[in-house]
Chains A and B, each alone.
Chain A
Amino acid sequence: MARLRFPLIMAVALFLAGLALMAALKDRHYMLLSLVLLGAALLPVFLRLERRRLESRELVLLAVLSAIAAVSRIPFAALPSVKPVSAIIMLSAYVFGAEAGFIIGAVAALVSNIYFGQGPWTPWQMFAWGMAGLSTGWLRNSWWMRKRAGMLLFGFLWGFLFGWIMNIWYIISLPDAFSWGLVAAAYASSFYFDLAHAVSNVFFLAVLAGGWTSVLERFRRKYGLLKE
């Protein structure tokens, strides 16, 4: 059975992809296709994590940072969109790099939803927060990211981007109504939530930035973690 596991998973994945394509072409029903594509987007980084020789220290570090990001969502549960999760993911990615940032973001979304309830939004949140980490990790050596203002601006931008990505799963269920009007209506209705997310990102980044990066940098140097 164990020998057959990988081919079995591949077969099921291909079958699902086929069904999704069929639904998209036949009925213009893109829900399944969007999920298959999201899965494909999440796969490469996690595949690399599986393949790579990872020190147990590094694995534990990733788990701690994801858990802290997830825990920080709980005291703010009453305020929609105001949560330090994005800020913590971005700071971790800033210190530990793109790949670690993606994994921390995706795992934080998955784990915190065990407390908040899984739903069709889980893979989208995993993707959105993963990408927030990934992009911060990629740009961490650029001159403007090194500056405080550049990082705050980037956090502000991701507040909106996160909301826009989360709007896609909603818009995708109306393929026939798709028009710039619908997109504008959906994005206008989420504007205040996105703005709250963006402003809270700036706030949390401003408060956390100095202290957290130095703590994380120290741990990285002391234990020699996740060096390229």
Chain B
Amino acid sequence: MSSGFRAMHPAVALLYYAGLLLFAALLMHPLFLITELVGVMLLLLLQGQGKQLLRGLPFYLLMAGSVALLNPLFSHRGAHILFYLWDQPVTLEAVLYGLIMMLVLLTIFMVFLSYNYTVTTDKFMYAFAAAAPKTALLTLMAIRFIPLFQRRLHEITMIQRFRGIDVSKGSLRKRMRDGMTLMKVLLTWSLEEALQTGDSMKARGYGIRRRTTYSTFVLDRLDTTALLLLVISGLIPLILWMLGYGTFEIYPRMRPLVFGGGEALMYTSFCLFVLIPAGLEGKEIWLWRSSRRKAYPSATPELNGTRSMSSPSQ
């Protein structure tokens, strides 16, 4: 059961995350990057992913922070020298560039955190099933095999224990050999069975002609509106960026940040793009609260416009 942005059509979610990644990789402007970072973190919190965020944060900060630290140590370009470290100048430009790169990396990590929650496997496969049917089928089968193999491995371990083949007992050498025996049993069993599946696929006519696809996702009016809004609000900053607005030049010499009319338009549109999903989530929360406040007079529940969808994978 999912609601809000997670219940939207996969095309909306994929377009949104692709756009976020594109902006993170293109716009080297601190204001835009901070806005995107805050927007995605807001979305994560609204989606109830605060715990995941906290759990991953030390790793992300370490990765991104080391970029901020390494850049001034190895890059000495720039006009404003802050101080000398081991006879090497540390410049303001290099420090700023490192910080901006840190923001870029943090933003990308956050985008993927939200992506992992929103774009479930079935949505990801939906996007590729039509474009690359064989690869999609192959990936889908591999995804399906993983829980099956884990179960099988457990079963094999239980059975082989009676023969004395046990990875938890004996010398290291014996344990390793036993572990590999278990894996070999799993390999033979799974291959033999999977090839039967392959034969049965063939018997039912797989590969005779092009695979047809169907989708369980319906594009409704809200999806179309969101899609249109995302495309328009995403294209405006992109085009303005290509025209040279919203750039922040650090090397070879730092230029002051300009914020004119072009940048204002670009920033407004960019904010709209980043905040659309958070707005959808916020709308859900608001509707839920107001529906609880109203006591229903009759037993029949009232339609309140809350979007929900039980995704097929769950």
Contacts and interface: CB of A to CB of B under 8 A. Distances in A.
B194 A63 contact: yes
B169 interface: no
A60 B82 CA distance: 61
Nearest to A115: B146
B207 interface: yes
Interface size class of A (residues with CB under 8 A): 35 or more
B54 interface: no
B187 A68 contact: yes
Nearest to A27: B28
A146 B225 CA distance: 60
Interface in A10-63: 16, 19, 22-23, 26-29, 31-32, 35, 46, 49-50, 53-63
B141 A63 contact: yes
Contacts of B202: 55-57
Contacts of B63: 170
Contact of A207 (B180, B195, B201): B180
**Contact-size category for B:** 35 or more
B304 interface: no
Nearest to B249: A27
B130 interface: yes
A119 B26 contact: no
B38 interface: no
Interface string B246-259: 01000100000000
Contacts of A74: 150
A119 B112 contact: yes
Interface stretch (B69-77, B264-272, B277-285, B293-301): B69-77
A219 B139 contact: no
Interface in A110-133: 110-111, 114-115, 117-120
Given A59-B198, A68-B186, A74-B150, A120 B108 contact: yes
Interface stretch (B43-51, B97-105, B226-234): B97-105
A174 B101 contact: yes
Contacts of B137: 59
B194 to A, nearest CB: 5
21 contacts: A9-B131, A19-B26, A22-B242, A26-B247, A27-B247, A56-B202, A56-B206, A60-B195, A63-B141, A64-B145, A64-B190, A66-B142, A70-B146, A71-B146, A111-B143, A114-B121, A120-B112, A174-B74, A174-B98, A208-B180, A212-B187
User: Which 10 A-B pairs give the minimum distances between C-beta atoms?
Assistant: A67-B145, A177-B74, A63-B141, A177-B75, A57-B198, A60-B198, A56-B201, A32-B25, A176-B75, A56-B198
